[in-house]
Structure 1
Amino acid sequence: MRIAIYGRVSTSHQVEHQTIEQQLGRLVAHIGTHAAEAWALDPAHVFRDDGFSGAVLARPGLDRLRDAVKGHEVDRVLVTAPDRLARNYVHQMVLLEEWGRAGCATEFLDRPMSDDPHDHLLLQIRGAVAEYERTLIVERMRRGRLAKLRAGTLLPWTHAPYGYRMSPDRPRDPAGVSVDPAEAAVVAELFAMYREPGTSLMQLAAFLDARGVPTPRGGPRWSSPTVRGILRNPTYTGQVHAQRTQYRPPTHRRSATHPIGRPHGTAVPQPQDTWLLVAQVPAVVSQAQFDEVQAKLATNQSFARRNNTAHQYLLRALVSCGHCGLASTARATNGRNFYYLCNGKGHSTFSHRATCCPARHTPARQLDDLVWNDLCAMLAEPEPLARAVARAHGGAWLPQELLARRETLRQGQTSLRQQLERLTDAYLRAVIPLDEYERRRRDIEQRVQALSGQEEQLRHDAARQQQLAGIAASLEGFRERVQASLTQASFEQRRQLVLLLVDRVIVTDADVEIRYVLPTSPDSEHVRFCRLRKDYFHDPAPRQQHEAALGFW
């Protein structure tokens, strides 16, 4: 039997005192007691997370362990206690269910489990206690951190703003903050130049690029958001504040053409009267200069391109370049010619590309008419919607977690059949006796039948079939309601419909790819597809919301 062991500690103090080595030592010793049962531990199947919290599932060692279980590389996972696996009971159940579906057993040394309901009840109690303990620790740490901030003995940031340095011996002590002369001179020059009439953030970024000034992260190209972040930071007036921003979960996809990846929160500015003054540091600019820059930033925000509605563009903010993947911005030349222009054709400071994109200018009016006519044709005929629903019945539009379950079941069946072939080959070569061969064969066949039953149940899920039937009726009703008013629709009505039904238009020279999405219920007719974040694995709530739309192209 192939065994994997997992150990975890939360703090660097525990890492230094080798408590994780104690966990792994106990697990290895436990494997030694089952040597007669042919338990084997491959060194590659020793997984550990040093200094990672058990409150989240995103841990390097745990991720590798989950991949090994999914790949059917191990048959049993050993952990000292449930709270070492996860401190959240829901996370524990997610892992145990995931590994159970893959045919992998889980064993805890401190609390052996069986199928007895009492064992499961005790596991739930232990998980709830561990989660309660973690909540207490988090609250105590929050209150302690807030007390230190109010006392002026703790900096609110772990990385110093551009232009400042922290003491290497006292990295979080406000008294150890000093000014970096070279970077502070750049900051002062940015404030002085931006206060001049007609100076923009893009001009400041291009100015720094031309002078070869490295970015705060050491990169070669500055960007407008980086410059804006420096100009908005009140630390340069000599005052360090805490609680200036509050993070909220993301609500939109970062890009419609790039892999979504992991979610990134958004820092929401808080009212100035809620800021907490922590300490005083050497000032780089005066308060009057800082206030003047803030007034100009607030004024220029209203002139941003996203607020430019002088001309009507049906596909505004919906067009992407097929060559470089960047967005295409609507532009007007001489007030007569209108185009969608790839942002990769702009200055390298704006595009963050070393070379200019070879894409041609796309005539806006022709592209708008092409997409609108295609959308009307799609809504006029029921066949495209029927084909989409047929694909959904075939499993093409299963939610991501169900697709993963189906693929895991199929991989498990393939692995078991390979084991059965190897077992038969070993018997034919007289490596194992007949009784051992029959015992192992029965075990493998039972596991194959169990996986086949699960796959069949997933394929003929009555609830899903009923849901798809409702989706088909809803789509047909939506099509009939919208089709009648397409010819008389105003520009605003057409624009609203395009925002709802078009996820992205990708233009590659003369080829146009239109990615449609359709609402699957009356409630989802008021929600844009870009707000439905199903593909984030660690964010289950929006994943459920994503079922409100059906996409195809």
Structure 2
Amino acid sequence: MIGILARVSTEEQARTGHSIDNQIREGIKKAGTTEVKKYIDDGYSGEFLERPGLTQLRKDVKDGLITKVICLDPDRLARKLMLQLIITEELEKNGAELIFISGEYAKTPEGQLFYSMRGAISEFEKAKINERMSSGRREKARKGKVVKNSFTYGYDYDKENSEYVINEKEARVVQLIFELFTKPNNIAQGMNGIALYLTDNLIPTKRGASVWHRNVVRQILLNEAYTGRMPQNRWDTEGMLGNKHRSAEDKVPMKLRPKEEWIYVDVPQIITKEKYDHAQLMLGESRRRYSKESLHPYLLSGLLRCTNCGNTMTGRKSKNWGKHVYEYTDIKNSAGAKERGCGRKIACSKIDDMVWDTIHNWLNNPEEIAAAMEETQTSYMDNEIERVEEDIEKTKAARKRVIKLFSSDLGIGEEEIRDELRELSVREEQLTKRLAELQNKQEDEQRFESSRNLMAETLEYYLDRNPDELTFEDKRTIIRMVAREIRVGEEEIEIIPF
């Protein structure tokens, strides 16, 4: 029986006009009979062997059902020369004759050479098409156009002008998500709480689903496009085209390009840069801030850190002289804990009251929190930069001493000196890198100002309420909005504001 193989991908159909129907029609004409079996790969790339039509054809040839195979040209078999040769050899090995509509294939040295040349040219052409498409997309992005519709919540895609326009209804939901996440409220806590709130209020997702998931909320909070700048050319998807036909272990992963290769385009702004930056700060803390609640609620849950061992401090109930007390401790008893902790503990009643009194004072004197933020930021950065600069100078001086020893004749081993020089060079490189990071942070005044403005806005929300009516949840929410971390030392407790 005769089998006709037809394949076309979307771009090829538009470019060459060799539709599936046309290939089948020409194949039947070449076969001289309508008694044929059709093997169709519609919309599948020729870069891969894993195509349903081709896979079935190979099986039927192997089983002896098909003795003659007709297709338009070698490109329909595959786009890569190696794959073309594999398929051709497999068909002939199983006794099937291969016939091309666009030209005869002679099993002679000359015919095989011509066949190989056509395959090589086809593979080159495919590579050039991919390169032209990639270059075209990059150039389109550089001109300030949105390359494709990524179905970003809050926007509609204007295909004619290649740009995003605001979807007013969705944009209000985006603003609500950022408000609920960055401001104290009694509506929803954390990303999971926001997702539940949107679901309960029958707000549909971008694709019209009725249920919101935590990760969808997180993706919205992470999306820089809402500030008016959309990054494009972020992801390298080379080789991913055939993933739907590959097994899980063979799938090609999507890779993030270096940030210097990203191309930004302007889109309508939905969220201010200040609010976005504040949300990013809180996202970094959200995992421990909104962890699973314990049986007993703790006011400072997820905020405390021991200054000695660096462990977070969690709440627990312990027994002291036959009496149950609640305390925070840095001891980690879970299997696989990197650091067991130094054993520091502090009574909840003691630290809870102290922290709340400080925060409460800040609430009644907003200028104090601004001063605290600036003092924390400035003093920490200045001290750390000074310390690193001193270490760099000490390292340089140590290198000079070692080099001087190397040039003297004191009988010191050459290899020993070389090892020490390498260690000093590595340390100097690490310190220099650390210094550059600190200086960059120190120069980032805009982000600091943004955080301070948002903090003032958050505190203003609570200044309108009666402090005596604040519940436990109210207090915990305020503390979490104000404090990024609370460091517990031997004799000192330091509140680190956002």
Alpha-carbon distance in 2 for matches of 1:303, 1:68 = 60
Q: One-letter code of the match for 2:222?
A: R
Q: CA shift at 1:267, angstroms? A: 4.2
Q: CA shift at 1:112, angstroms? A: 3.2
> Does 2:75 align with 1:95?
no
CA deviation map 1:499-523 (0-9, x unaligned): xxxxxxxxxxxxxxxxxxxxxxxxx
Q: CA shift at 1:113, angstroms? A: 3.4
> Does 2:18 align with 1:19?
yes
Instruction: Note the 1:59-74 alignment, pairs <5 A.
Output: 59=51, 61-66=53-58, 68-69=60-61, 72-74=64-66
> Does 2:165 align with 1:178?
yes
Alpha-carbon distance in 2 for matches of 1:215, 1:189 = 14
The equivalent residue for 2:274 is 288
Instruction: Note the 1:351-390 alignment, pairs <5 A.
Output: none
Q: CA shift at 1:54, angstroms? A: 2.5
Q: 1:209 aligns with which of 199, 204, 212?
A: 199
Alpha-carbon distance in 2 for matches of 1:218, 1:67 = 42
The equivalent residue for 2:229 is 239
Alpha-carbon distance in 2 for matches of 1:57, 1:98 = 12
The equivalent residue for 2:31 is 31
> Closer, same or farther in 2 for the Cα pair 1:313/1:86, shift >3 Å?
same
Q: CA shift at 1:208, angstroms? A: 2.1
Q: One-letter code of the match for 1:191?
A: F
Alpha-carbon distance in 2 for matches of 1:12, 1:137 = 10
> Does 2:35 align with 1:41?
yes
Alpha-carbon distance in 1 for matches of 2:262, 2:332 = 39
Q: Is the 8 A contact 1:9 1:15 kept in 2?
A: no
Q: One-letter code of the match for 1:89?
A: L
Q: CA shift at 1:173, angstroms? A: 1.1
Alpha-carbon distance in 1 for matches of 2:255, 2:118 = 37
Q: One-letter code of the match for 2:29?
A: A
The equivalent residue for 2:264 is 277
Alpha-carbon distance in 2 for matches of 1:213, 1:68 = 51
Q: 1:229 aligns with which of 216, 219, 222?
A: 219
CA deviation map 1:393-419 (0-9, x unaligned): xxxxxxxxxxxxxxxxxxxxxxxxxxx
Q: 2:143 aligns with which of 145, 151, 174?
A: 151
Alpha-carbon distance in 2 for matches of 1:131, 1:271 = 28
The equivalent residue for 2:46 is 54
Secondary structure class of the residue paired with 2:69: strand
Alpha-carbon distance in 2 for matches of 1:106, 1:184 = 58
The count of aligned residue pairs is 292
Secondary structure class of the residue paired with 1:291: helix
The equivalent residue for 2:402 is none
Alpha-carbon distance in 2 for matches of 1:204, 1:190 = 7
Q: 1:195 aligns with which of 164, 167, 182?
A: 182
* TM-score w.r.t. length of structure 2: 0.51
Q: 2:105 aligns with which of 108, 113, 122?
A: 113
Q: CA shift at 1:166, angstroms? A: 1.4
The equivalent residue for 1:475 is none
Q: Is the 8 A contact 1:7 1:47 kept in 2?
A: yes
CA deviation map 1:317-375 (0-9, x unaligned): xxxxxxxxxxxxxxxxxxxxxxxxxxxxxxxxxxxxxxxxxxxxxxxxxxxxxxxxxxx
Q: Is the 8 A contact 2:155 2:166 kept in 1?
A: yes
Q: CA shift at 1:249, angstroms? A: 7.5
Q: 1:166 aligns with which of 149, 157, 168?
A: 157
Instruction: Note the 1:531-542 alignment, pairs <5 A.
Output: none
Q: CA shift at 1:68, angstroms? A: 4.5
Alpha-carbon distance in 1 for matches of 2:256, 2:189 = 25
Q: CA shift at 1:299, angstroms? A: 3.1
> Closer, same or farther in 2 for the Cα pair 1:31/1:268, shift >3 Å?
closer
> Does 2:123 align with 1:131?
yes
> Closer, same or farther in 2 for the Cα pair 1:135/1:77, shift >3 Å?
same
Q: Is the 8 A contact 2:105 2:111 kept in 1?
A: yes
Q: Is the 8 A contact 1:248 1:266 kept in 2?
A: no
Alpha-carbon distance in 1 for matches of 2:54, 2:194 = 45
> Closer, same or farther in 2 for the Cα pair 1:246/1:11, shift >3 Å?
closer
Alpha-carbon distance in 1 for matches of 2:227, 2:125 = 41
> Closer, same or farther in 2 for the Cα pair 1:71/1:199, shift >3 Å?
farther
Q: Is the 8 A contact 1:156 1:241 kept in 2?
A: no
The equivalent residue for 1:466 is none
Q: CA shift at 1:239, angstroms? A: 1.7
Q: One-letter code of the match for 1:130?
A: S
> Closer, same or farther in 2 for the Cα pair 1:4/1:216, shift >3 Å?
same
The equivalent residue for 1:219 is 209
Alpha-carbon distance in 2 for matches of 1:260, 1:52 = 17
Q: Is the 8 A contact 1:15 1:50 kept in 2?
A: no
Q: One-letter code of the match for 2:181?
A: Y
Q: Is the 8 A contact 2:199 2:212 kept in 1?
A: yes
Alpha-carbon distance in 1 for matches of 2:86, 2:117 = 16
> Closer, same or farther in 2 for the Cα pair 1:76/1:247, shift >3 Å?
same
Alpha-carbon distance in 1 for matches of 2:332, 2:58 = 53
> Closer, same or farther in 2 for the Cα pair 1:217/1:96, shift >3 Å?
farther
State the Cα RMSD in Å.
Answer: 3.7
The equivalent residue for 2:78 is 86
CA deviation map 1:149-168 (0-9, x unaligned): 1112x31332330111113x
Q: CA shift at 1:242, angstroms? A: 1.0
Identity, in percent, stands at 29
> Closer, same or farther in 2 for the Cα pair 1:100/1:312, shift >3 Å?
farther
Q: CA shift at 1:184, angstroms? A: 1.4
Secondary structure class of the residue paired with 1:19: coil
Q: One-letter code of the match for 1:212?
A: L
Alpha-carbon distance in 1 for matches of 2:150, 2:62 = 38
The equivalent residue for 2:399 is none
* TM-score w.r.t. length of structure 1: 0.46
> Closer, same or farther in 2 for the Cα pair 1:304/1:109, shift >3 Å?
farther
Q: One-letter code of the match for 1:292?
A: H
Secondary structure class of the residue paired with 1:159: coil
Q: CA shift at 1:115, angstroms? A: 4.4
Query: Highest CA radius of gyration, 1 or 2?
Result: 2
Alpha-carbon distance in 1 for matches of 2:137, 2:234 = 15
